[in-house]
Chains A and B, each alone.
Chain A
Amino acid sequence: MMSNNRGCDKQEELVSYLYGECAPEAEKRFETHIRECLTCARELREFASLRDTLQSWEVDTLPHIVIEPKRTFGMALRELFAVTPLWAKGFAGVAALLLFAALLNVEVTIGSFKVGAHLFARNGSTSSAAPKTNPDSAQSALNMDEVNKLVDQKVAESQHRNAEEMQTKLTKLEQDIRSSRERELNMIMASIRQDQQQQIRKIVQATIAENNLNFSNLFSDLDSDKVKDKDQDKNQK
C-alpha cells in the first residue's frame, strides 16, 4: 500500500482504472468506491484531463538510424554459403575432403582400386597415385635408422670439437691471468722496497745530522743495493 496523505489509499486502483487495467471485479469495486470518495473521483477527472494534455506532445520526426555493422569473415562466409548452389557446395565439400586427406597422407583401397592423395612424400611405401620408384635408387636411399645414426655421430663430433676448443681457450686464459698477476706483484714489491729504502735513508741522515757522524760508505752501499734492485726489475720484465 502507498503512503497516504489524501485520506484514501486507493492510488494503485486509481491508476489501474485510469489505464483500463483493472480486472472486471476490481473495476466494479472501484466504480462503487468513487461514488463515495470525492478525492479519488476528483483525481480521476484531473488525471484523465492530464492524459489528454500529454497526448498533445507528438513526435513527427524520425531519427533515420543507419546501422552499418562491420562484416566479419564468419558473416561473409555464412552469406556466401547461403547463396551458393547445391552442386557447388558438393564440389567444395569433395575438394575440402581431398585436401584434408592429402594433409594426412591418406590412401584408400577398395578391392583392387587404390586412391590416395599426398602433399608430402611417404616414407617406406609407394602409392598408386605417386610414380613408381627405381628399386636401385630405393635401396641406395638411407633408411631412418641410418640417418639417425649419422646425425648422432655428427652431433657427437661437433660436441667433442667444441669441448676441445673450450679447454684450449681456458688454459690460455689461465696463463694470461697468472702472468698478469705476477707482473703486478713484482711492481708492488719494488714500490714497497723503494719506499722502505727512502725511509731508512731519511732516518740515517737525520741520525747523522743529530750526532755529527760520518758514514759515507753507508750511502755507497745503499746506492749499490738500489742499482741491484733495478737490474733485478729489468730482468723480471
Chain B
Amino acid sequence: MLIISLVAEKRQLTDDQLIEQTLSGESEAFGHLVRRWERQIYGLALRVLGHEETARDVCQETFLSAFRNLSKFRGDAQFSSWLYRITLNHCNTHLRRSETKTNVSLDEQLEAGVPEPTGSTELVDETINREQMAKHLRKALSAIPSEMRQVIVMKEYQGLKFHEIAEILNLPVSTVKTRLYTGLSQLRRRLEHLRNAG
C-alpha cells in the first residue's frame, strides 16, 4: 500500500521535481522519468531510423546520456525538448554509421513484419489495406532525406509546435516550416509512386 502511494506520488511530480530528486541522490526518480518518456523517445527513434532494434538501442543510449549529463540540464528548456535533442543526435550517429544497413533492414522488416490477417472478409480487407498503407508509408518515409523526416516525425507524431522543433534542432522557425513543406511534398510523391507500382 505504501509502495503504491509512493509510486502515485512520483507520477504526480513534474519533470523538474523528478530531476531535482535524481540529482539529490534518489536514482529511482530517474526511473519514473524513463517510464514517462520512453514511449515518445522510442516512437521518435523508430520513425526516424525505421528499425526497431536500432531504435531500442538509441532509446537506451538516450536515457543513459541524459542520466550522465543531468547535472548539465539547465532547465531553461523543457526536459522533453532536451531528451528529443539527445535522441536525434544518437539517431544521426546511427544514420551516419549505417545508412545502407538501415534501409536493407527496413526492407527486411517490411517483408517479414506484416501479420497474418484474421476474422471476417471485410476486416481482412481493411487489415490488408491498413498494413499495405503502413508498409508504403514506412518505405516512403525512410526514402526522404533525414532532416525532413525528423521534422515530419516531430510534428506529426510527437505533436510539437514549430517553435519547439526549431529550438530542438537549433534552426529558425521558417526553416522548420520549409523542411516540413518540402518533406510532405516528397513523401506524397513517393507514396503515389509506390501505390501505382504496387
Chain A residues with CB under 8 Å of chain B are 2, 11-12, 14-16, 19, 21, 43, 46-47, 50-51, 53-57, 59, 61-65, 67, 69, 71, 74-79, 82
Contact = CB atoms under 8 A, between A and B. Distances in A.
Contacts of B31: 67
Interface in B154-190: 155-157, 161-162, 174, 177-178, 180-181, 184-185, 187-188
Q: Give the 6 A-B residue pairs with the shortest CB-CB distance, closest first.
A: A78-B25, A11-B181, A12-B177, A63-B56, A63-B59, A63-B42
Nearest to A47: B184
A56 B129 CA distance: 10
Given A53-B137, A59-B46, A67 B39 contact: no
A74 B25 CA distance: 8
Contact of B188 (A15, A46, A63): A46
Interface stretch (B60-68, B74-82, B100-108): B60-68
Q: How large is the interface on B (under 10, 10 to 19, 20 to 34, 35 or more residues)?
A: 35 or more
B25 A82 contact: yes
Given A56-B134, A62-B42, A63-B42, A75 B25 contact: yes
Contacts of B156: 51, 54-55
17 contacts: A2-B178, A11-B181, A21-B161, A47-B188, A50-B184, A53-B133, A53-B191, A59-B43, A59-B46, A61-B52, A62-B39, A63-B38, A64-B38, A67-B63, A67-B64, A71-B27, A79-B26
Contact of B30 (A11, A19, A69, A82): A69
A87 B43 CA distance: 49
Contact of A14 (B27, B39, B52, B181): B181
Interface of B: 24-27, 30-31, 34, 38-39, 42-43, 46-47, 52, 55-56, 59-60, 63-64, 67, 130, 133-134, 137-138, 141, 152, 155-157, 161-162, 174, 177-178, 180-181, 184-185, 187-188, 191
A14 B46 CA distance: 28
Contacts of A14: 181
A179 B155 CA distance: 100
Contacts of A74: 25
Nearest to B140: A53
Contacts of A75: 25, 27
B152 A54 contact: yes
Contact of A56 (B39, B59, B137): B137
